[in-house]
Amino acid sequence: MGNHQLTSLIRMANQIAANNTHIGDDIAEAEMVADHMTKFWARSMKVQIREYLEQDGSELLPIAKQAVALLKH
Partner 1 sequence: MIQIFDPKVDYNKDYGTPAHVSENLITLEIDGKSITVAEGTSVMRAAAEADINIPKLCATDNLEAFGSCRICAVEIEGRRGTPASCTTPAEAGMKVTTQNKRLGKLRRNIMELYISDHPLDCLTCPANGNCELQDVAGEVGLREVRYGFSGENHLQAEKDHSNPYFSFDPSKCIVCSRCVRACGEVQGTFALTIDGRGFDSKVSPGQNQDFLDSECVSCGACVQACPTSTLMEKSVIEVGQPEHSVVTTCAYCGVGCQFKAEMKGAEVIRMVPYKGGQANHGHSCVKGRFAFGYATHEDRITKPMIRDSIDEPWQEVSWDEALNFAATKLRGIQEKYGRDSIGGITSSRCTNEETYLVQKLIRAAFGNNNTDTCARVCHSPTGYGLKATLGESAGTQTFDSVMHADAIMVIGANPTDAHPVFGSLLKKRLRQGAKLIVADPRRIDLVKTPHVETHHHLTLRPGSNVAFVNAMAHVIMSEGLEDHDFIAKRCQTEAFNAWRHFITEERHSPENTEAITGIPAAELRSAARIYANAKNAAIYYGLGVTEHSQGSSMVMGIANLALATGNIGREGVGVNPLRGQNNVQGSCDMGSFPHELPGYQHVSDDAVRARFEAVWGVKLDNEPGLRIPNMFDAAMDGTYKGMYCQGEDIAQSDPNTNHVHAAMRALECLIVQDIFLNETAKFAHVFLPGSSFLEKDGTFTNAERRINRVRKVMPPLAGKQDWEVTQALSNALGYPMNYNHPSEIMDEIALLTPTFSNVSYEKLEEMGSLQWPCNDDTPNGTPIMHLDSFPIGKGHFSITEYVATEERSTRKYPLLLTTGRTLSQYNVGAQTRRTENQVWHDDDVLELHPQDAEDRGIKDNDWVGITSRSGETVMLAKVSDRMQPGVVYTTFHHPHSGANVVTTDNSDWATNCPEYKVTAIQVIKVNEPSEWQQRYHEFHQEQIGHLHSARGDKRSEPVAGK
- In the complex, the residues that contact partner 1 under the rule CB under 8 A are 1-5, 7-8, 12, 15-16, 18-19, 21-22, 36, 38-45
Provide, rounded to whole angstroms, the least separation between the CB of residue 48 and partner 1: 9
Provide, rounded to whole angstroms, the least separation between the CB of residue 43 and partner 1: 4
Nearer Cβ to partner 1, position 43 or 58? 43
Provide, rounded to whole angstroms, the least separation between the CB of residue 73 and partner 1: 12
**Cα-based distances in Å from 47 to 5, 12, 67:** 12, 14, 13
**Cα-based distances in Å from 12 to 21, 41, 60:** 15, 10, 10
Nearer Cβ to partner 1, position 13 or 53? 13
57: left (phi > 0), else alpha (psi -120 to 50), else beta?
left
